[in-house]
Amino acid sequence: YGGVTTKTAIVLGVIGFVALYFANTLNFATIGASVIAPLIIAPIIAIIAVIATHRLPQFAFVTSIVYAVCEGVFLGFISAIVAYFFGGELVQMALVGTFGVLAGMLFLYATGIIRVGSFFRKFMFSMLIGLVIYTLYSKKHSLLAKNQ
Q: What is the CA radius of gyration of the chain?
A: 19
40-55: string of b/e by CB count within 10 Å (b at 16+)?
Answer: eebeebbeebeebbee
Backbone angles phi, psi at 123, to 5 degrees: -60, -50
pTM tops 0.75, yes or no: no
**Tens place of pLDDT per residue across the chain (148 aa):** 568 888 888 998 899 899 888 888 877 666 666 677 888 899 999 999 999 999 999 999 999 999 999 999 998 888 888 888 887 777 778 878 888 888 888 888 888 888 888 998 899 999 999 999 998 888 777 666 665 5
